[in-house]
Amino acid sequence: MLSIRQINKTIGDFSLSDVSLEINPGDYYVILGQSGAGKSMLLDLIAGVKKTDSGTILFRDRDITTQSISDRKFGIMFQGDSIFPHKTVSENIAYSLSHLSKSKRNQEVQKLAKTCGVESLLSRYPDSLSGGEIQRVVLARTLAMKPDIILLDEPMRSLDQHYKFQLQSLLRTLNREGQTFIHVTHDYQLALTLSNKLGVLHQGKLIQSGDTRSLFNHPANAFIAAFTGVKNYFEIENRAHKAEINLSDDIRLSVPEDLQHKDKLRIIIAPEDVSISAEEVKPHGIVFDRFNDQSGEILVVQLKSIRLYALGKTDLNLSVGQKVRVKISDYRMTACE
């Protein structure tokens, strides 16, 4: 559907280099990256806000690289508030429907407002709306132009959790109904919740892309692992090429036969697969930190050369600085390419 081939763009001392993407109909493609990674610039190039220095953008096999923003049928929701403040909600939604008769336009506005849950706000001005309501109005207005692809630039950045969930649910519904999305964000949890495809952008380069689940399971390097929320990610030299490898001191993991000849191995351990007990039996470590996240209490255990994140058990009343025993029940091992 949309094929972005090796596009480049330099503004000042920042460059977007050789970015290539393939978007298929019905995809929810999330471009994940830190602030300043070039996400918004990439979205601007796709939307036609900025022109590429080189590379090609094909839509349905037609070259649209030089087409202007108004000629591409991509709806864009810019970062920040892009509602027209001098128009009512109804006038905002109807902005792209000026070619329709008044009655048809009203019908369409009602339909879109209902889809986005803003039908009770139609006569209101934006200054009386909450951030979540504004984003749903903007989405309804974008849908009114019947876009082939909707481009979202951090639409949830300043929203409260409640409004975030509302908007996420709406986006998923629209995606299930066949709407294609390209969404840029810095929030990996959002990416995991919404996308079926994911690309990680770092310093202007797309460093990994592919199916969301597989990217989260197989991050290509430590940066992507850290950025996508993988807590226990290790790259270990395998010079001995034996059936076992040392993770740290007494913690030895078995290496599958097909990986034994590889020089470097990647190991990912889920926090729930690290069990901790209050015994001073080797292999042991020291509780370095403890905090709560959505899955429960996380214990950070310092071993000699690594730190391990473990999902704590509620009956263990461990304190920071305490010696604990560490056992790893499961892990994923792959070769570093």
Partner 1 sequence: MPKYTNIGFNVLFALLGALVLLFIVAPLVSMFLHTEFPAMMETVREPEVQSSIKVTLLSAAFSTLFFAVAAIPFSWLLARKQFVGKTFLQALIDLPIVIPHTAAGIALLGFVSRDTVLGQMAESVGLSFVGSPLGIGLAMAFVSIPFLINAARDAFAAVPKRLELTARNLGASPFRCFFTVSLPLAWRGVLSGLIMMFARGMSEFGAVVIIAYHPMTTPVMIFERFTSYGLKYTRPVAVLFIIVALVIFYLLRYFAKPKHVKHTANQ
| Of 155 and 312, CB closest to partner 1 | 155
The answer to the question of residue 74 lying near partner 1 (CB under 8 A) is: yes
- Contact call for residues 101 and 85 (beta carbons, < 8 A): no
Task: Report d(CA 103, CA 99) in Å as an integer.
Answer: 12
Q: CB 303 → partner 1: shortest distance, Å? A: 49
DSSP H or E segment with residue 199: strand 197-202
| Of 98 and 314, CB closest to partner 1 | 98
Q: What DSSP character marks residue 53?
A: S
Question: How far is residue 310 from each of residues 214, 317, 329, 330, measured CA to CA in Å?
Answer: 22, 14, 11, 12
The answer to the question of residue 95 lying near partner 1 (CB under 8 A) is: yes
- Contact call for residues 21 and 209 (beta carbons, < 8 A): yes
- Contact call for residues 222 and 232 (beta carbons, < 8 A): no
- Candidate residues 34, 65, 96, 334; the one interacting with partner 1 per rule CB under 8 A: 96
Site for partner 1 in 97-116 (CB under 8 A): 98
| Of 57 and 236, CB closest to partner 1 | 57
Sign (positive/negative) of CA torsion 48, 54, 58, 61?
positive
Q: CB 122 → partner 1: shortest distance, Å? A: 12
Q: CB 169 → partner 1: shortest distance, Å? A: 22
The answer to the question of residue 125 lying near partner 1 (CB under 8 A) is: yes
- Candidate residues 85, 210, 256, 296; the one interacting with partner 1 per rule CB under 8 A: 85
In degrees, to the nearest 5, what angle opens at C-alpha 236 toward C-alphas 234 and 237? 165
- Contact call for residues 149 and 23 (beta carbons, < 8 A): yes
User: Which residue has tokens 């263990």?
Assistant: 316
Q: CB 110 → partner 1: shortest distance, Å? A: 19
Torsion of CA 57, 63, 65, 70, to 10 degrees: -110
Task: Report d(CA 168, CA 28) in Å as an integer.
Answer: 12
- Candidate residues 47, 184, 191, 245; the one interacting with partner 1 per rule CB under 8 A: 47
- Candidate residues 136, 141, 183, 266; the one interacting with partner 1 per rule CB under 8 A: 141
The answer to the question of residue 78 lying near partner 1 (CB under 8 A) is: yes
Count of residues near partner 1 by CB under 8 A: 28
The answer to the question of residue 130 lying near partner 1 (CB under 8 A) is: yes
Q: List 334's β-bridge partners, or say none.
A: 266
Binding mask 146-175 for partner 1 (x = CB under 8 A): ------------------------------
* Segment near partner 1 (CB under 8 A); pick from 55-63, 128-136, 154-162, 163-171: 128-136
The answer to the question of residue 82 lying near partner 1 (CB under 8 A) is: yes
Q: How many CA atoms lie within 13 A of 320 on its CB side?
A: 6
The answer to the question of residue 80 lying near partner 1 (CB under 8 A) is: yes
Q: Based on the number of CB atoms within 10 Å of its own CB, is 104 exposed (0-12), middle (13-18) or buried (19 or more)?
A: exposed
* Segment near partner 1 (CB under 8 A); pick from 63-71, 199-207, 215-223, 237-245: 63-71
Question: How far is residue 95 from each of residues 90, 98, 105, 223, 265, measured CA to CA in Å?
Answer: 9, 6, 10, 43, 55
| Of 125 and 288, CB closest to partner 1 | 125
* Segment near partner 1 (CB under 8 A); pick from 73-81, 253-261, 269-277, 314-322: 73-81
Q: Which residues bind partner 1 (CB under 8 A)?
A: 47, 49, 68-70, 74-76, 78-80, 82, 84-86, 95-96, 98, 124-125, 127-130, 141-142, 144-145
